Structure 1
């Protein structure tokens, strides 16, 4: 069964967010379970990103993947790790959200 490209991209984003959260928790790969979680999550990330790239242009997919990941990780940082973004970070993330929306809604390019 083929995974739809946008679903594959969403799974890649989710796995990347989990992997990066595990990187924070593994404390330089000194904690076994978070370290294994990071490696497994990044393996899933790149597998599903490669599936998404079959149908979504690489620039569009990467912009959405990195932008959405940045926003989700900032939210996790705030909720889980108690990290508070300053005004500049908040404005920058709002601009990222705007950029991802523009790319998603306005891009009509096709992968080669």
Structure 2
């Protein structure tokens, strides 16, 4: 079971890399960043699938991926000089809380 969560962590990292390349690819007009985005997305899905095959529950794996990517994307946006308003920060926190609470309620039933 431990190995499955390591694979989910790798999937999160790959998805954050994909988001970074998405920002760079300019609507898929820049070939190298576009290729990086495609490969990182493929790695994300491959590792997520491997994690589920290794025993990670679907809800826990997808929840971890969602929360990890939301947090990672926040920092990627900041690295590109994007500003985050209070409403965006509150909305992101509510979304993360909702995903986590939804996963906890699914795990308890």
Q: TM-score, normalized by length of structure 2?
A: 0.82
How far apart, CA to CA, are the structure 2 residues paired with 1:51 and 1:7? 10
Q: What residue is the counterpart of 2:32 in the other structure?
A: 33
| Runs of at least 5 residues in structure 1 that lack an aligned partner in the other structure | none
Aligned alpha-carbon RMSD (Å): 2.2
Distance of aligned partners of 1:52 and 1:108 in 2 relative to their CA distance in 1, 3 Å threshold: farther
Q: How many residues align?
A: 105
Q: What residue is the counterpart of 2:76 in the other structure?
A: 76
Q: What residue is the counterpart of 1:63 in the other structure?
A: 63
Bigger helix share: 2
| Runs of at least 5 residues in structure 2 that lack an aligned partner in the other structure | none
Q: What residue is the counterpart of 1:14 in the other structure?
A: 13
2:63 and 2:100 in contact (8 A); partners too: no
The offset of 1:61, in angstroms, is 1.1
SS in 2 for 1:84: coil
The offset of 1:19, in angstroms, is 0.7
How far apart, CA to CA, are the structure 2 residues paired with 1:12 and 1:43? 10
